[in-house]
Amino acid sequence: MRRAVLLSSAAVLALGGDPAAAAPRPISQVGFLVQQFDVAGGGALRSATVWSGFRPRDPAESRGVYGRLAVGSKLRHAQRLDRRASDPKVAVGADGSAVAVWKRGAQLRYASAPPGGRFGATRTLVTSRGTLGIGGVAISIGGRTVIAWSQGDQVRAAIRRSGRFGAPTTLGRTPGAPSVAGSTAGQIVVSWQTIPQPGLPAPYGLAGAPQVQAAVLAPGATAFGALQTLSARPQGAEFPIAAGGRGGAAVTWTEAPGHVVRRVQAAGTFGSPAVIRPGVVGMLALAVPRSGNLVAAWSRASSPDRPLPRPVVEAAVQAPDGTFPTVRRLSDPSYTAEEVAAGDLGDRALLVWKEQRPGRRSRLRAALRSATAWSNAATISDARAVGAIRIGTGTRGAVIAWVERERTSPGRLHLIPLR
């Protein structure tokens, strides 16, 4: 089942800075198997959730992409955005407008919702002869919207300032979907990785050395800036992750000796690389709060040089000199911890992760990091079979979504709307 929980800033402050949340509410259909999902928060107390999947008893008729909007505590009715579609992504702007994007066969499709309104008609952005991989959608100041995707071996993006999207442009080449994120200052960054595998057919036979690359859409610009190479020595199959928030935008990836991050500067170029933590590989979550201190979190398994009885979730805050000097263990050492997600709540970073112990239910835990201190970790929900976690931040809180199985539905989405 998939659940979403909103942490209200007012509720957090009322509890002395420790995270707290009310019980989640069901948002997807009873008996429905949610396979993919995304969630976003924005301005005007607005949040949006999208999901794809089917009802096992009638898969042909029920399969598709669905969306549901919320304004304050009021949930609107779920909308079926498309049939036989998958891989939905969503973004919500500062004015409360929303854009959802997904793929159906060889087509990339989207639907828009005005501030306070429902999703409108489905439109086709592109029809592809090659494989489509959706990177995501981002909305910046003034409603400027970017959808980024891979099409065959090309990284492509389309920009909308008002009305419909403009003609797609090619930013670079990659065999996988890019990552896209926007900052409240108006920057939108798209990042990807080339993975050369000579001798294989396109899109997997890219030539040259592996590279992490990115392009930035600056505030007020009508086109992306030039391609920028961030690294010529990435490691592993993990693709770079773009993150944005009130403190700007950044890109993180894996290379020796561990995760590396570079921030987008005011001019649209990237600052010097900073190693987050030597030896840390695998999934990493990044928050960019208004304080300007990047907060990174990851799940770390045991290694010969740093043995552990079970995986833990750790985090570190970037210091003024660019380093990440101190690592803090967030999870309970008696639990197995994984699936960490991060977002910003104004001047604070919000981190959420899953903990499990044999014979017990899973639980979701959360912690906040201000500019100077950590809150206590708190349990925000006891849940069954929690899987992936997503966070969408708004002007007054964050929407948190996760996978869970319940008795009446093989996979159901729950939500606590912004208050």
User: Which tens digits make up the pLDDT trace of 39-55?
Assistant: 999 888 888 999 999 99
Average pLDDT value for the chain: 85
Q: Is 203 left (phi over 0), alpha (psi -120 to 50) or beta?
A: alpha
Tell which residue, 63, 101, 96, 92, has the closest CA to residue 80.
63
pLDDT above 80: residue 361: no
Give me the percent of the chain exceeding a pLDDT of 70.
84
Mean pLDDT, residues 365-377 taken together = 91
Q: Inform me whether the pLDDT recorded for 264 exceeds 70.
A: yes
Q: pLDDT-based confidence at 216, cuts 50/70/90?
A: very high
Mean pLDDT of 155-170: 93
What phi, psi does 54 have (nearest 5°)?
A: -160, 165
Q: Which residue, among 12, 67, 8, 11, has the nearest Cα to 34 in the 3D structure?
A: 67
The C-alpha atoms of residue 414 and residue 39 are separated, in whole angstroms, by 11
For the chain, which residues make up each domain, given as ranges?
34-125
What pLDDT, on the 0 to 100 scale, is given for residue 184?
85
Q: How confident is the model at residue 10 (pLDDT cuts 50, 70, 90)?
A: very low
- Condensed to tens digits (0 to 9), the pLDDT of residues 75-102 reads 899 999 999 999 999 999 999 999 999 9
Residue 307 has pLDDT above 50, yes or no: yes
Q: What pLDDT is stored for residue 207 in this prediction?
A: 61
pLDDT value of residue 9: 39
Residue 50 has what pLDDT? 96
Band the pLDDT of 316: cuts 50, 70, 90. Answer: very high
Give 111-139 pLDDT, tens digit per residue.
999 998 999 999 999 999 888 999 999 99
Task: Count other Cβ atoms within 10 Å, centred on residue 402.
Answer: 29
